[in-house]
Amino acid sequence: MEPNPPSQTLETPDCQSESPEDQQQQPLELTKTLPIASISLSLSSFLSPQLLLSSPKKPSLSPFSHLKIPSQISSLSHLSLSSTSPKSSSKAYTPSRIANSPLQSPSPLLRHRPADPSHSAAGRRCTVVWFRADLRVHDNEALSAASNDSLSLLPVYLFDPRDYGKSSSGFDKTGPYRATFLLQSVADLRRGLRARGSDLVVRIGRPETVLVELARAVGADAVYAHREVSHDEVRAEERVAKAMEEEGVEVKYFWGSTLYHMDDLPFELEQMPSNYGGFREKVRGVAVRKTIEALDQIKGLPSRGDVDTGEIPSLVDLGLKPVPTMSQDGKPVLNASLVGGEIEALERLKKFADESRAQPKKGDGTRDSIYGANFSCKISPWLAIGCLSPRFMYEELKKTATRAISASSTPKTGAAADNGMNWLMFELLWRDFFRFITKKYSSTTKKIEAAPATACTGALV
């Protein structure tokens, strides 16, 4: 699960996010009392920094270099994996502007704004898409909406210096293992965008400064992004909104990091129960929105400004020291095989679904559940930084469970598959609970006395 809320840095925007167009929804209801478990989202203990972008896990001609995500709930085994290699950008790339000193942003761009900055959403000249913890092409409302609304897009990812370095307690704000995983995920996102006719601009710098410079350079009309929940992330959203308001640029935030959409909750966020049991009862029967289809083609970069896409930084650029891949006793670092990125996340999910279908029957006709102690280290790192959408994961594994139940010859076998799906839903609900409770205490304008968010009180129904 996500880290415990109010005791950590919390954050949420002052207003709720824009909701997408009405979409077909799928009902969801948990009917069984299940043991409590949580998805760990920590990345600091299992990644090897050697798995860097200079030597990606898959070559550019890999059959997974162009992934088509289905819009319907489909079997993962039928995902379309084209062998077409990614297209190279038509722009001429200049050397990186990353300074020698760690965490120094590139040279600022020329400060100028277009003479006619106002355009309707249906006819925007250019939109900046600010990627955050949504490093994927599938089920990405901000990216899809921007592509539909605009003539050109400028996708951007920023390494904010405030997310690195030491905390007041002396610990790394972002450790080298998590940073390595993040760097790999950003590189994979860039490859995915290039394969669809776009690209990703990468910078080291503060969003409220760099985004303004980029918007000026290309004459952008708007900035589209997903909202986050922690204190620092919410403050960043507020600073960007204020800076863009002064520039006459619209900022539009979306919601896409949870199974349930924020706008579909049957209560105001300020009235959210502080215990999991109460939250679960409130959302019982709420429908899960349908995922948004990944675009085959994305609007290209703007011709104005001739913005350098930049290079993806190294750990040293982020002020971190690479760590060895082998432990002192000569053994590989635990879970060093985990690689960041959307392609890897979808492969993991497909493998997980295949394993769940292939579980052998026991003597009584039931199956051992694969949803066990090792589940979190299989999927949660990619959920944490948005390489995988929780709604897409839900749709695909629900389809797997449905096939298992329909193929069952006995009620017990079907019940076992149903129990496995409910176990998964229990985990995703816990994840939603912690994200929403974090947002509750980080987004309210008036101070709310923080009651302890408990796992036990009312957790079992």
- Annotated binding-site residue numbers for FAD: 376-380, 427-434
Distance CA 380, CA 260 (A): 17
Find, among 157, 399, 133, 136, the residue nearest to 293 by Cα: 136
CA dihedral 247, 253, 257, 262 (to 10 degrees): 150
Tell me the longest C-alpha to C-alpha distance in the chain: 75
Residue 426's H or E segment, with its range, is helix 411-443
Instruction: Read off the tokens for 446.
Output: 């008036």
Distance CA 190, CA 210 (A): 19
Distance CA 201, CA 206 (A): 14
Distance CA 384, CA 389 (A): 10
Distance CA 22, CA 1 (A): 29
Distance CA 202, CA 147 (A): 19
Instruction: Answer for the pair 383, 41: CB distance below 8 angstroms, yes or no.
Output: yes
Instruction: Answer for the pair 176, 314: CB distance below 8 angstroms, yes or no.
Output: no
Instruction: Answer for the pair 26, 285: CB distance below 8 angstroms, yes or no.
Output: no
Residues that constitute the known binding site: 376-380, 427-434
